[in-house]
């Protein structure tokens, strides 16, 4: 129970930090803490499978992606250009995250002596995650996903599709619209003339 | 509904004819003469249809839930008289129209006529509310398009729309409690229940705004002064009677106890309107405003008559409704002619028109005398019957107030006549041309009707006595 | 273990949604292979065909109450009606997009609209918290992108604003759902109606948060601030779509919760804040409308108030009230789409016909459009001879009948206020054009926009005289 409150506090605090941090990298670090703490919460609910997924997919894949994007976008911008002097300030939060994440993971996977489940569904024995009939097991999870909750599962596919198409559309090419080849030729000619005139507009 | 030989179908035709013809006019070529001739023909045809539709009764179901409602049209006896008055006034108003963008104006007048015939023909309360709101729209457009101040249009619209909303709410509540709104002109049981006083309040406020009665009248003088005369003629002659008609067919028929309970208040409001209108009319320099305030005064008298619920007073009220419709149409049309010619409505500037325009002056004199209640003209018949009825009902003080107002009426009407028509000729007034043939023809039926009712009151009293019962 | 627990009936239940999803894939494919000149109308044509197919498929389910996918999606009269409303909104906005849309992006835009409608239709039939949330997210996600789909500063701002505020609302919704799930142990709406929940504080907190989320999406008053800004920034067809489809879908969810998913006797308590908020919306929305000089902002505020009217009809929780709410919603769909169609028809190449000054003198230049717009404004104000009039009287009657007459009174007051704003639009059209704000480039007559204006006009007027209301909208759950 105490663990729940501690982890809960970490979740909230890290979320606040994510939003308020001035540098994007700090935000990502905050998010990382958040995800890790969330994974710990899943563990405390005996949702081991979800916790692992959370770590692998969110902390592992998505955050790395974030970091790449930030690195690419802001390379040459102040915080990175200022050199290693500013690095030690990250150390404290970084150590904190790693520690919390490790403690959470180890504790959770080892059978939750300190993290007792706060909501214990009656009649569902805790046990190895891999086998069916155990609360939070992969088998049950998969079965539910493809039977009871097939519709929501399929809808998420649509949602992802919308996100992809939407981003392509929003980022889409910024060239002026050309309706026909004749029009295209005209646009091209105009562009060439503009260059010849030496205009750098 | 068979078309041949079926008189009932005339009721929807009377409503749709001017509506469709009016809408059609927007599509026709924009020619002022065409608009006027077309409009006059349609208005005449409508008048004939209304005349024939006296006993028509036509119904189609509209709603089954939450209360039954129907497109039930067919004149009530009182509604028929009002529709007839409306037909005549619109005919005269269309014939007297001479405005820029004439085609559109005539079209709006026809739309107005259609919605108002709908109001007087509606036998269903929901349909009544429908036409009640609908008839604001043409007037609003005319005020916007032809009025001199847009603010007037807003004031007219918002006042009356607020009233219309109250009517709507009251109608909805009435329907829910009564189970049906198909009630106008039928002898149903009065409405009872905890809601009844609120419903009455909703109806009463809507009707009082429309009439109008002091202190809800402030939209009225501006509207009457700003709008073109043909429209004002129709609005003052007939649209203002819609509230009174509502009191008769809904208030008296379904909420009689509340009319009785609030009779003192209604009589006081009527009396204040009566005196206030007359007093303000006495000092107004604007000719149309004089007639507007005189209308307020006259309608106050009718409101008193209805509030007393005395049969004789009601009979008088109906005669006076018709008479007031006739003479106010005539007055506004003739003042419109004057304004058109001289370019002013100010009594300070006008004067001596009688020398060059004998026909105009003659027509105006007849209408003004009818308005001040000269025996032998229609106004007198209505007034005297109302006064006897009100006296019979025991409202002596109201009779005294009314008599004072009638004296004041003579004063302001004669002042109008004196300042505009008599006196020395004012040299710098622009055109002096007497009534043309068509202009004369447009007001003649009104004056003839005023005289006829004045000389032969028995005929109309007998006809109306049946309607009141 | 049963490998395929779903029969044909399950798949038929979501057939309209599948039809739309397939249509949007076809649109994207066509966009890829077709020449730009024909892809513009081609995309819209495929979209309209898909919409028609979805509408037909939805209509075929009218009256067949069936809980598909373990109760995740329930068909029946109610679902059909709301699916049809979404289809109307979609068809109307697609027609506008063909007129006005950025031709470069038309394929993706049409596809996103179709997918968004999938979400809206899902919400129409959703009977389980997860389906509700996913439908809502699908719709919202499509709308975020659609809002930013033009090259204008305002559009991107609008999209971002919508994204952030709407996500906040989704957060409320999701947290509420989590608490409801915690209380009932089930994601099915039907399980929320169990009487023992009434004593559970989790249920009260959960439903409160859930309703806040819905109020946000319906743009009721304390949560309405996003609507005018987002409407203003989004492209006109998207605004038209958003104003109708999101309202319809969210109202469908709300109605299902109100009518089917509350423990007996709790409805009047749980929903009381909603009714109060609806009452405030009716006044505040109409007051907010008075100061607007942009049609989109004006209609945004108008929408805030109109949702209040619709909720007034539902306030009693009676079956008739639901029918009248639907009647008014359909009428509102026609009025709103019609008004936006007129705005599209007068839009220039570079400027949308949204500012009120661009309506000056419209009665001279385009008398038919002006007349149609007049009717739409009259309808929004509730004047005869339009469905707005009859809708208002039906709502007033219901409110008087069900003991929520105070909401009826607020409706009357709000309507009285709103009149000025609607009449302002009408007045702008009929007054002569002032010199400085000359709108030179009136677009040549756009057939699709004119067709939708005509259809909406017919709808708005015909509904007055043939007031059909769906009779078998209940039961909402089985």
Residue C392 to residue B150, Cβ atoms within 8 A:
no
Q: Which residues of C touch B161 (CB under 8 A)?
A: 381, 383, 416, 419
**B436 confidence band (pLDDT: 50, 70, 90):** confident
Q: Which residues of B touch C389 (CB under 8 A)?
A: 130, 133, 168
Tens digits of residue pLDDT in C125-141 = 999 999 999 999 999 99
- Which residues partner with B73 through β-bridges? B58, B122
Predicted local distance difference test score (pLDDT) of residue A75: 55
Q: Which of B126, B162, B166 sits opposite C393 (nearest CB)?
A: B126
Question: Is A158 an 8 Å CB contact of chain C?
Answer: yes
Going by the DSSP 8-state scheme, the letter that residue A22 receives in this structure is S
Question: Is C397 an 8 Å CB contact of chain B?
Answer: yes
Residue B62 to residue C465, Cβ atoms within 8 A:
yes
**C267 confidence band (pLDDT: 50, 70, 90):** confident
Tens digits of residue pLDDT in B153-198 = 888 988 899 999 999 999 999 998 888 888 888 877 888 888 889 9
Q: Which of C367, C396, C398 sits opposite B168 (nearest CB)?
A: C396
Q: What is the mean pLDDT of residues B20-30?
A: 88
Contact of B259 with B307, CB cutoff 8 Å:
yes
Residue C149 to residue A148, Cβ atoms within 8 A:
no
Residue C104 to residue A172, Cβ atoms within 8 A:
yes
Q: Which of B62, B71, B165 sits opposite C415 (nearest CB)?
A: B165
Quote the CA–CA distance of B52 and B256 in Å, as a whole number: 32
Give the count of Cβ contacts less than 8 A between chain A and C: 87
Going by the DSSP 8-state scheme, the letter that residue B20 receives in this structure is H
Predicted local distance difference test score (pLDDT) of residue A116: 47
Q: Which of A143, A152, A168, A172 best probes binding to C when mutated, by most C CB atoms within 10 angstroms?
A: A152
From chain A residues 135-154, the ones with a CB under 8 A of any chain C CB are: 143, 147-152
Quote the CA–CA distance of A81 and A89 in Å, as a whole number: 15
* Shortest distance, CA B242 to any CA of chain C (angstroms): 17
Give the chain A residue nearest C20 (alpha carbons): A158
Q: Which residues of C touch B130 (CB under 8 A)?
A: 384-385, 389
**Nearest one of C464, C408, C388, C313 to B202, comparing CA atoms:** C408
- Domain contains C320: yes
pLDDT, greater one: B124 or B151? B124
Q: Do chains C and B touch (3 or more CB pairs under 8 A)?
A: yes
**C99 confidence band (pLDDT: 50, 70, 90):** confident
How far is CA B44 from each of CA B13, B41, B256, B321, B373, rounded to the nearest angstrom?
14, 5, 37, 22, 29
- Domain contains C23: no
Q: How many independent structural domains does chain C possess?
A: 1
Neighbour subunits, A (≥3 Cβ pairs < 8 A): C
The H or E element containing residue B63 is: strand B58-63
Predicted local distance difference test score (pLDDT) of residue A180: 54
Predicted local distance difference test score (pLDDT) of residue B468: 63
Predicted local distance difference test score (pLDDT) of residue B1: 43
How far is CA B227 from each of CA A130, B86, B139, B221, B288, rounded to the nearest angstrom?
86, 18, 9, 10, 10
Which of the residue ranges A130-144, B32-46, B105-119, C160-174 would you say has the lowest mean pLDDT? A130-144
The H or E element containing residue C4 is: none
Instruction: Write down the mean pLDDT value for chain B.
Output: 88
Q: What is the mean pLDDT of residues C182-200?
A: 88
Q: What fold, for A2-123?
A: 1.20.120
* Shortest distance, CA C60 to any CA of chain A (angstroms): 21
- Give the residues of chain A that fall short of pLDDT 50: 76-85, 112-125, 178-179, 199-201
Predicted local distance difference test score (pLDDT) of residue C82: 94
**C396 confidence band (pLDDT: 50, 70, 90):** very high
Neighbours of C462 (CB within 10 A): 13
Contact of C478 with C349, CB cutoff 8 Å:
no
How are beta strands C73-75 and B58-63 bridged, if at all? unpaired
Q: What is the mean pLDDT of residues B130-138?
A: 93
Which runs of consecutive H residues, i.e. helices, occur in B60-149? 77-96, 102-121, 125-134, 136-146
Q: Which residues of B touch C397 (CB under 8 A)?
A: 66-67, 172-173, 175-176
Tens digits of residue pLDDT in C367-390 = 889 999 999 999 999 988 899 999
| Share of residues in chain C with pLDDT > 70 (%) | 95
Residue B423: strand, helix, or coil: coil
Residue C137 to residue A179, Cβ atoms within 8 A:
no
Q: Which of B165, B174, B180, B193 best probes binding to C when mutated, by most C CB atoms within 10 angstroms?
A: B165
Tens digits of residue pLDDT in B74-94 = 998 889 989 999 999 999 999
Range of the domain at C395: 271-472
Instruction: Write down the mean pLDDT value for chain C.
Output: 88
**C260 confidence band (pLDDT: 50, 70, 90):** confident
Residue C383 to residue B133, Cβ atoms within 8 A:
yes
- Domain contains C236: no
Give the chain C residue nearest B166 (alpha carbons): C412
Residue C384 to residue B154, Cβ atoms within 8 A:
no
Q: Which residues of B touch C419 (CB under 8 A)?
A: 157-158, 161
Question: Is A155 an 8 Å CB contact of chain C?
Answer: yes
* Shortest distance, CA C383 to any CA of chain B (angstroms): 6
Tens digits of residue pLDDT in B284-342 = 888 899 999 999 999 999 999 999 988 889 888 988 999 999 999 999 999 998 888 88
What burial class does residue B64 get, using C-beta atoms within 10 Å of its C-beta: 0-12 exposed, 13-18 middle, 19+ buried?
exposed
Q: Which residues of B touch C405 (CB under 8 A)?
A: 173
- Domain contains C478: no
What burial class does residue B281 get, using C-beta atoms within 10 Å of its C-beta: 0-12 exposed, 13-18 middle, 19+ buried?
buried
- Domain contains C275: yes
- Domain contains C314: yes
Question: Is A173 an 8 Å CB contact of chain C?
Answer: yes
- Domain contains C379: yes
- Sorted by where each begins, the domain ranges of chain A are 2-123
Residue A169 to residue C105, Cβ atoms within 8 A:
yes
Q: What angle do CA A6, A10, A11 make, to 5 degrees?
A: 115
């Amino acid at each position: 129970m105490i663990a729940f409150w501690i982890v809960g506090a970490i979740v909230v605090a890290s979320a606040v930090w994510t939003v308020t941090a001035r540098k994007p990298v700090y935000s990502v670090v905050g998010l990382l803490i958040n995800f890790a703490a969330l994974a710990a919460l899943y563990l405390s609910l005996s949702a081991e499978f979800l916790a692992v997924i959370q770590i692998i997919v969110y902390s592992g894949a998505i955050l790395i992606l974030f970091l790449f994007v930030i690195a690419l976008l802001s390379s040459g911008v102040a915080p990175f250009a200022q050199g290693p002097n500013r690095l030690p300030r990250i150390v404290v939060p970084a150590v904190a995250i790693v520690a919390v994440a490790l403690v959470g993971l180890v504790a959770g996977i080892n059978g939750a002596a300190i993290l007792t489940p706060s909501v214990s569904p009656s009649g569902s024995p805790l046990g190895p995650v891999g086998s069916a009939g155990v609360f939070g097991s992969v088998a049950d999870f998969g079965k539910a996903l493809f039977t009871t909750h097939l519709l929501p599962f399929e809808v998420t596919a649509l949602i992802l599709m919308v996100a992809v198409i939407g981003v392509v559309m929003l980022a889409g090419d910024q060239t002026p619209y050309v309706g026909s080849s004749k029009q295209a030729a005209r646009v091209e000619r105009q562009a060439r003339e503009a260059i010849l005139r030496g205009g750098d507009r | 509904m068979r078309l041949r030989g079926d008189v009932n179908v005339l009721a929807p035709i009377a409503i749709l004819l001017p509506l469709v013809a009016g809408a059609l006019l927007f599509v026709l070529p924009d020619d002022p003469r065409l608009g006027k001739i077309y409009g006059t023909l349609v208005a005449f045809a409508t008048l004939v249809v209304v005349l024939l539709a006296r006993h028509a009764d036509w119904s189609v179901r509209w709603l089954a839930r939450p209360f039954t409602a129907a497109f039930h049209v067919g004149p009530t006896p009182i509604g028929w008289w009002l529709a007839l008055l409306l037909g005549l006034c619109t005919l005269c108003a269309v014939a007297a129209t001479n405005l820029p963008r004439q085609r559109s104006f005539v079209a709006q007048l026809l739309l107005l006529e259609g919605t108002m015939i709908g109001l007087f023909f509606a036998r269903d309360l929901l349909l009544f509310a429908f036409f009640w709101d609908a008839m604001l729209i043409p007037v609003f457009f005319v005020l916007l398009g032809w009025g001199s101040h847009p603010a007037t249009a807003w004031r007219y619209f918002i006042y009356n729309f607020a009233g219309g909303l109250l009517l709507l709410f009251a109608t909805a509540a009435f329907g829910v409690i009564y189970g049906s709104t198909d009630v106008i002109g039928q002898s149903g049981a009065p409405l009872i229940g905890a809601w009844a006083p609120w419903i009455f309040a909703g109806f009463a406020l809507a009707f009082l705004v429309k009439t109008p009665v002091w202190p809800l009248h402030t939209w009225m003088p501006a509207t009457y002064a700003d709008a073109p005369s043909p429209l004002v003629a129709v609005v003052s002659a007939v649209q203002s009677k819609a509230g009174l008609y509502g009191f008769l067919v809904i208030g008296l028929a379904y909420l009689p106890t509340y009319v009785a309970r609030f009779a003192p208040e209604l009589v006081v409001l009527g009396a204040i309107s009566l005196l206030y209108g007359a007093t303000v009319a006495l000092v107004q320099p604007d000719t149309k405003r004089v007639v507007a305030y005189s209308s307020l005064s006259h309608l106050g008298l009718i409101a008193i008559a209805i509030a007393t619920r005395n049969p004789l007073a009601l009979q008088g009220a109906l005669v006076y409704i018709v008479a007031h419709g006739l003479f106010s149409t005539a007055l506004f049309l003739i003042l419109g002619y004057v304004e058109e010619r001289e370019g002013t409505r100010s009594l300070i500037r006008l004067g001596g028109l009688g020398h060059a325009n004998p026909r105009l002056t003659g027509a105006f004199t007849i209408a003004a005398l009818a308005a001040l209640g000269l025996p032998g003209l229609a106004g007198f018949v209505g007034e005297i019957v109302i006064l006897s009825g009100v006296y019979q009902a025991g409202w002596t003080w109201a009779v005294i107030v009314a008599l004072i107002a009638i004296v004041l009426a003579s004063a302001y009407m004669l002042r109008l006549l004196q300042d505009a028509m008599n006196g020395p000729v004012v040299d710098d007034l622009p055109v002096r041309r007497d009534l043309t043939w068509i202009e004369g023809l447009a007001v003649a039926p009104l004056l003839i009707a005023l005289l006829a009712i004045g000389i032969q009151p028995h005929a109309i009293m007998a006809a109306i006595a049946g309607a009141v019962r | 273990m049963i490998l395929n627990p779903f029969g044909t009936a399950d798949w038929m239940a979501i057939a309209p949604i599948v039809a739309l999803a397939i249509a949007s894939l076809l649109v994207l494919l066509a966009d890829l292979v077709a020449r730009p000149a024909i892809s513009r109308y081609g995309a819209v044509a495929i979209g309209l065909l898909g919409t028609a197919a979805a509408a037909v498929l939805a209509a075929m389910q009218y009256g067949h109450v069936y809980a598909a996918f373990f109760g995740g999606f329930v068909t029946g009269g109610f679902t059909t009606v709301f699916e049809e409303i979404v289809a109307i909104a979609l068809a109307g906005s697609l027609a506008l997009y063909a007129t006005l849309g950025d031709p470069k992006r038309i394929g993706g835009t049409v596809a996103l609209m179709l997918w968004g409608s999938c979400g809206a239709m899902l919400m129409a039939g959703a009977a389980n918290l997860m389906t509700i949330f996913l439908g809502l997210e699908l719709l919202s996600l499509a709308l975020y992108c659609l809002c930013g789909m033009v090259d204008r500063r305002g559009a991107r701002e609008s999209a971002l604003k919508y994204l952030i505020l709407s996500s906040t609302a989704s957060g409320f919704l999701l947290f509420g759902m989590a608490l409801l799930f915690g209380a009932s142990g089930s994601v099915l709406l039907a399980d929320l109606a169990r009487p023992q929940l009434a004593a559970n504080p989790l249920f009260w907190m959960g439903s409160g948060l859930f309703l806040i989320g819905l109020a946000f999406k319906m743009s009721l008053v304390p949560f309405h601030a996003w609507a005018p800004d987002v409407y203003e920034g989004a492209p006109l067809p998207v605004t038209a779509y958003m104003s109708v489809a999101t309202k319809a879908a969210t109202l469908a969810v709300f109605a299902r919760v109100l009518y089917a998913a509350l423990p007996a006797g709790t409805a009047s308590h749980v929903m009381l804040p909603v009714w109060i908020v609806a009452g405030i919306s009716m006044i505040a929305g109409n007051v907010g409308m008075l100061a607007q000089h942009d049609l989109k902002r004006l209609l945004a505020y108008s929408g805030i108030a109109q949702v209040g009217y619709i909720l007034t009809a539902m306030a009693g929780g009676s079956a008739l009230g639901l029918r009248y709410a639907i009647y008014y919603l359909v009428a509102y769909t026609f009025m709103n789409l019609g008004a936006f169609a007129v705005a599209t028809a007068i839009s220039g190449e570079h400027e949308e016909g949204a500012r009120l000054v661009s309506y000056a003198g419209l009665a001279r230049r385009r008398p038919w459009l002006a007349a149609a717009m007049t009717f739409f404004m009259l309808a929004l104000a509730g004047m005869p001879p339009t469905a707005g009039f009859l809708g208002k009287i039906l709502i007033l009657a219901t409110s008087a009948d069900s003991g929520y007459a105070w909401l009826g009174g607020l409706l009357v007051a709000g309507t009285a206020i709103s009149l000025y704003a609607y009449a302002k639009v009408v007045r702008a059209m009929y007054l002569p054009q002032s010199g400085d704000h000359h709108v030179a480039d009136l677009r040549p007559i756009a057939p699709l926009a004119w067709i939708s204006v005509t259809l909406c006009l017919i709808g708005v007027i015909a509904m007055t005289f043939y007031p059909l209301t769906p009779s078998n909208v209940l039961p909402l759950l089985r």
